[in-house]
Structure 1
Amino acid sequence: MDVLSLFGLILGLGGILFGNFLDGGHITMLGNLAAFVIVILGTSGAMLLQTTPRSFRHALRLTKWIFLPPLVNFERGIEQIMFWSTTARKEGLLGLEGMADAEAEPFARKGLQLLVDGAEPETIRHTLEMVIDLEEHRDIAAGLFWEGMGGYAPTIGIIGAVLGLIHVMTNLGEPELLGQGIATAFVATIYGVGSANLLFLPIGGKIKSIVISQGEYKQMILEGLVAISEGENPKAIGSRLQSFIEK
C-alpha cells in the first residue's frame, strides 16, 4: 500500500471540505447531480473519443498502481544480479537455466533466458532495450490518459457553468428556479477544476513517475546481464550498479 497516495488524497479532499466547513458551508452544498453528470461523463466521453480501446483498458489496469505500485527494490536487484554472476562463474551460463525458469519477473526471466541461450552481449542489450522502450511507451500512454482527463475536466466544467447560467437566464421570471441554475454553474466549475487537480493530473503524474522508476530498474537489470555475459567479476558488477540506487 502506497501510504503517501492515500494521505495525499485524504489531505487534498479533506482540506477543501474542511475549509468549506470553516467558511460556514455544508457538504450538501457541493452535491449536484447535474454538475456531476456534465463534468464527469462529458470528460470521460471526450477521452474515450481520443483514445484507443487497448490504451483505455491499460490505463484502467494501471490505476491500481496509485495505491498498490509494483515493488522496485534496487538493493535487492543488485544482490540478485551478483548471485546470478557468481553462479555463472562457478557453473557456467547453463547454471542459470533453473533460475530463468523460476524467475517470476518477465523482464529478468527473458534476460536470463538469453544468457542461457548463449546470446552475444550486443544481442542481449538490443533485445532488452527494445522491451524496455515498448513497455515504457505503453505505460506512459496510461499516464497520459489520466493527464488528458485532467486537461478536459476544467473546460467541461466551464461548459457546465455556462449551461447553468443559461438555465438561470431562461427562468428569470421564476425566482424559485434560479437557485438551482446558479448552483449548477458554480458546482460544475468546482467539479471540473477539483477533479482535474486533485485526481486526474496527480494520477497521471504518479503513474508516469512509477514507469520511470521501473525503467531505471530494468535498465539496471539489463546492464547486469550484459556484464555477466561479458564475464565481468561479480564484485565489479555490483560496484558499478550502485549508481542506480536512489539516494
Structure 2
Amino acid sequence: MDLSTTLGIIGGIGALLLGFILEKGSPGALLQLSASIIVFGGTIGAVVASFPLSELKKAPQWFKIAFGNQSFGSAEAYETLIRFAEKARREGLLSLEQELEVVTDQFTRQGMQLVIDGTDPEITREILESYIAVLRKRHKVGIHVFEAAGGYAPTMGIIGTVMGLVHVLGNLSDPSALSSSIAAAFIATLYGVSSANLVWLPIATKLKIKDNFEVAAMEMILDGILSIQAGENPSILKEKLKTHLGNIPEPQAKGEEAGAGRAAMGEVQ
C-alpha cells in the first residue's frame, strides 16, 4: 500500500475534524445526507457525462494504482541491461536471443528483439518512443478524470448550498430554526471543496507522479537498449544508467516482477 496517499487523505480529513471540534463544533453536525447526495452524486454524474464509459470502467484500477505500490522494474532492468551489454560485447548481439526468454518486462524484450533483428538505431528509437507516447496518453485519461472531479466538486457544493438557501428562504415561518438551516445549507460547500482538495486532486497528482516514474524507467531502458546496439562499453553503460536510477523510486513491497507497475498502469489508463 502507498502509505503517503492513505495517510495524507486520512490526516487531512482528520485535521479538518479536529479543528472543527476545537471550535466547539459537533462532528454530527457535519453529516448531511442530502448534501452528500447533491455533491457526490452531482460530481459523479458530471464526470460520467464527460468521459466515455469504456474509460470509466477502469476507475477501480486507478484507485488501486493511487493507493498501492507499483514496481517500475528499474533495478531489475538495470541488472538485465548490464548483463546484456557484457554478453553482447563478448559474444555478439545474436547471442542475446535466448536470454530474452527469461525477460519478464515486455518493453525491454521488444526493444532488445529489435536490436537483435538488426533494426536501424533510429527506427528502434522511434518505435520505442512511440510505445512511451502511447502509454502516456493512456495514463492521461485517468489523471484527467480525477482532475475533472476536483473541478466539478466545489461547483456542486455551491449548487447544493444555493438549493439549501432557497429552501430556507421559502420557510421563514420559524425564525428559531433559521440559523441551523443556514448552517446545514453550507455543508454542501464544505463537502465539495474538501473532497476536491483532499481526495480528487491529490489522487490525480499521485497518478501523474507515478506516470512520470514509469516513463522515467522506460526512458532508462530505451537509453540502455540503444547503448547496447551501439556497442558501448558496459562500464560506460553502468554510469549512464545510474543517472536514471536516482529518479525512479523502488517500492517496499517484495516479490514484484520487473515492469509489473508498468503493465498495471499501461493497461488501465
Q: TM-score, normalised by structure 1?
A: 0.91
1:118 partnered with 2:111: no
User: Which residues in structure 2 correspond to 1:92-171 (within 5 Å)?
Assistant: 92-171=92-171
Query: Is the Cα contact below 8 Å between 1:150 and 1:200 reproduced in 2?
Result: yes
Counterpart of 2:12 in structure 1: which amino acid? G
1:85 partnered with 2:85: yes
How far apart are 1:149 and its partner, in Å?
A: 0.5
How far apart are the structure 2 equivalents of 1:95 and 1:169?
A: 81
53-62 vs 25-34, which deviates more? 53-62
Counterpart of 1:195 in structure 2: which amino acid? S
How far apart are 1:79 and its partner, in Å?
A: 2.5
How far apart are the structure 2 equivalents of 1:13 and 1:187?
A: 15
How far apart are the structure 2 equivalents of 1:102 and 1:201?
A: 40
Deviations 1:152-174 (A, max 9, x none): 10011000000000110111124
- RMSD of Structure 2 on Structure 1 (CA): 2.0
How far apart are 1:178 and its partner, in Å?
A: 4.6
116-125 vs 159-168, which deviates more? 116-125
Identity rate, percent: 38
How far apart are 1:31 and its partner, in Å?
A: 0.8
What's the counterpart of residue 264 of structure 2? none
Deviations 1:183-240 (A, max 9, x none): 4421101100000000000000110011011111101100100111111111111112
How far apart are the structure 1 equivalents of 2:203 and 2:165?
A: 31
What's the counterpart of residue 205 of structure 1? 205
What's the counterpart of residue 240 of structure 1? 240
131-140 vs 117-126, which deviates more? 117-126
User: Which residues in structure 2 correspond to 1:52-63 (within 5 Å)?
Assistant: 52-63=52-63
What's the counterpart of residue 42 of structure 1? 42
Query: Is the Cα contact below 8 Å between 1:34 and 1:184 reproduced in 2?
Result: no
In structure 2, do the counterparts of structure 1 residues 123 and 63 end up closer, same or farther at CA, with 3 Å as the change threshold?
Answer: same
How many residues matched?
Answer: 247
How far apart are the structure 1 equivalents of 2:178 and 2:79?
A: 68
What's the counterpart of residue 173 of structure 2? 173
How far apart are the structure 1 equivalents of 2:159 and 2:216?
A: 42
SS at match of 2:141: helix
Deviations 1:8-35 (A, max 9, x none): 1221111111111211122211111100
How far apart are the structure 1 equivalents of 2:101 and 2:222?
A: 18
Counterpart of 1:13 in structure 2: which amino acid? I
Runs of at least 5 residues in structure 1 that lack an aligned partner in the other structure:
none
In structure 2, do the counterparts of structure 1 residues 179 and 113 end up closer, same or farther at CA, with 3 Å as the change threshold?
Answer: farther
What's the counterpart of residue 250 of structure 2? none
Counterpart of 1:106 in structure 2: which amino acid? Q
What's the counterpart of residue 65 of structure 2? 65
What's the counterpart of residue 220 of structure 1? 220
How far apart are 1:110 and its partner, in Å?
A: 1.7
1:18 partnered with 2:25: no
How far apart are 1:59 and its partner, in Å?
A: 4.4
Larger fraction in helix: 1
Q: TM-score, normalised by structure 2?
A: 0.84
How far apart are the structure 1 equivalents of 2:180 and 2:96?
A: 69
Deviations 1:75-131 (A, max 9, x none): 443232111211222333233333323322222222122223232211211111000
